[in-house]
Structure 1
Amino acid sequence: MTRRPDKLSEDDRVLWNLVARTAKPLKGRTAVDVPEIAAEAKPSQSQPALAATNAAGTAKPKAQHVTHRLDEPTLDKLSKGRLPIEGRVDLHGMTQDEAYSLLFSFLHRAHAGGIRYVLVITGKGSSSGGDGVLRRAVPAWLSTPAFRPLVSSHDHAARNHGGSGALYIRLRRVRS
């Protein structure tokens, strides 16, 4: 019988912390403090894009990378099931921090495994009268430097896969 190493991989640590933060202690026990995860990689939703200064000292807007939309033939094949969706993750009911950590670790594992197309379910967010925090946030996250090496393009899913409450994501090819 082989022993597993005592150290957790970064992906395992992210998933474990997500689960540990949602667990309730047994009766008569106190909750264990779980540290924040991936705090340095999370984008700040409350701050606008930072401005850089040029040699003259005037501010210019910082250029942000924009991921491309899926091309029509690929979108059509995905929606009709002729191109397989090799992985899916559901972010329903999560906070932004939980969703960001899970999405990043999911896409990182999928990319490392050579998967090309995944479905990310954000939900529509209309149950409380809002327009969906994750529905708006996830596409913005996909354009950040943390996701840039993983994501090639993304677009809203077809109605049968969740419509505007889900995204198709094409991952970049693994460099050999």
Structure 2
Amino acid sequence: MADEDELFAEAMGRVQPLAASKKIEPESLKSGRKRPRLKPVRTAKLVISPASHAPATTDDPWQLVADGVSRERLRRLASGHLPVEFTLDLHGVTRDEALLLLAGSLEAMLTEGRRVARIIHGRGLHSQGKPVLKEAVYRWLREGPLAHAVLAAVAEPGSGGGACLLLLRKVAHK
């Protein structure tokens, strides 16, 4: 069986770069400014239900599952059958910036009642040794200040391990 790199090369073999005249630059880049940073959202008091505990790591280090998550719900998440309500792409940011973006995004999702997210952290191909962002994201999801809100995190199908899908708890607002 071909490895992931060979499959990727085969899939991308006919892809051609866009001509410079066809590229569209965001307004923020046209003026020479850097991409704007998102600021963490401060939410109203959130009450997580039913329980307030962090997800546990399974035998797969890239899978987190909280107690009480049904196998059917986990299967639906892992197979991509739950609709993704938010995508956060962390390419090109540092580990610290990534964790700030992750915190702000998940707080906003909880406030808005969104429950399924795609986090694109990359596979760590440009990291020396271990994948820095991927490990930091999973550690934060397992141990960070919003770990109690994470029901499950699984590798996104077809991402080659470069993205994960999250299922968040329902939140009651006070």
Please indicate, yes or no, whether the TM-score normalized by the shorter chain is above 0.5: yes
For residues 47-87 of structure 1, what are the alpha-carbon distances to aligned partners after superposition, in whole Å with 9 as ceiling and x for unaligned?
A: xxxxxxxxxxxxxxxxx954442654334323544321111
Higher relative contact order (CA 8 A, sep 6+): 2
**Letter of the aligned partner of 2:129 in structure 1?**
G
Matched AA of 2:88: V
CA RMSD of aligned residues (A): 3.0
Distance 1:71 1:135, change over 3 A: farther
**Paired residue type of 1:169:** L
Letter in structure 2 aligned against 1:125: G
Distance in 1 (CA, whole Å) between partners of 2:150 and 2:79 is: 22
**1:163 shift after superposition:** 3.4
Structure 2 partner of 1:136: 135
Give the conservation status (yes or no) of the 8 Å contact 1:85–1:118: yes
Give SS of 1:175's match: strand
The alignment of Structure 1 onto Structure 2 pairs a total of residues equal to 118
After TM superposition, the score normalised by the length of structure 2 is 0.57
Alpha carbons 1:108, 1:150 under 8 Å: kept: no
Counterpart of 1:112 in structure 2 is 111
Q: Offset at 1:175?
A: 1.3
Give the C-alpha shift of residue 23 in structure 1: 4.4
Identical counterparts, % of pairs: 33
User: 2:172 is paired with a residue of what secondary structure?
Assistant: coil
| Kept after mapping to 2: 8 A contact 1:124/1:131 | no
**How far does residue 131 in structure 1 lie from its aligned partner after superposition?**
2.9
List aligned pairs for 1:1-176, cutoff 5 A. 23=33, 65-67=54-56, 68-69=64-65, 72-128=71-127, 130-159=129-158, 162-176=159-173
Question: Closer, same or farther in 2 for the Cα pair 1:126/1:112, shift >3 Å?
Answer: same
- Aligned residue for 2:106, secondary structure, equals helix
Gaps of 5+ in 2: 1-31, 41-52, 57-63
SS of structure 1 residue aligned to 2:142 = coil
